Amino acid sequence: MLAASALMPGKSSSELRLTSVSRALLARFKARASFMFAGCCWWRSLAVDGCSGASRGHAPVVRRPGSQCSAFRQNGTVAERPIRLFGDPVLRTPCDAVDAFDDVLIRLVADLEETVSAPGRAGLAANQIGVSRRVFAYNIDGQVGHLVNPVIEATEGEQEDEEGCLSIPGLWYPLKRAQYVRARGIDQLGQPAIVEGEGLLARCIQHEVDHLNGRLFVDRLSGSARNLAMRDLREGFAS
């Protein structure tokens, strides 16, 4: 399981981290566990060795006390939103930075977190529900959160596993990603926040930031995997 750790030295209360993935969870991953991002990824043969060297946190910013998402849930205005599919122009349009921290943003975050909380989902970018704003939500081992205006500021190592996307349903291809990622941004209330982790969370962050930049995971494929993906897309999404 992923568990919250103590605050790291020199970090504010908004920069919470979680401990590394437990051996039991890693064993479950290696037993060909299947995970799906809402618009993110399936890993059908995830081979993550966990933390190499010093341990790092896996899931970061948790919703802070005073978050207004709960108010929207209580009055019934939160909705699980439909996912936009390959071919929709919003998926190819770089998202605009968030510059207003108001009820519109809080409602968007609430909808993202509600949608990503469906069973088996791990990450969701705002443009995948048709909103061109730089926000994504994650759901890793029951830890649900979000990051606004994310910027990846550090990466380390490498992992390679099959990756897919709910915006391109049914298709999976091997793709290399960084093993560790740290992304800095802000939360729905405008407070500084960090999301960092290895393995599954690192892949999630990279996949979602790609979405916010108008990029799909198939754009990163090369060689025979890319050729196969282009053929599958022509056959599966021809209109």
d(CA 4, CA 138): 16
Catalytic residue among 15, 113, 196, 208: 208
Token code pair at residue 14 = 């908004």
Is 208 one of the annotated active-site residues of the chain?
A: yes
Report d(CA 124, CA 204) in Å as an integer. Answer: 9
Active site residues: 208
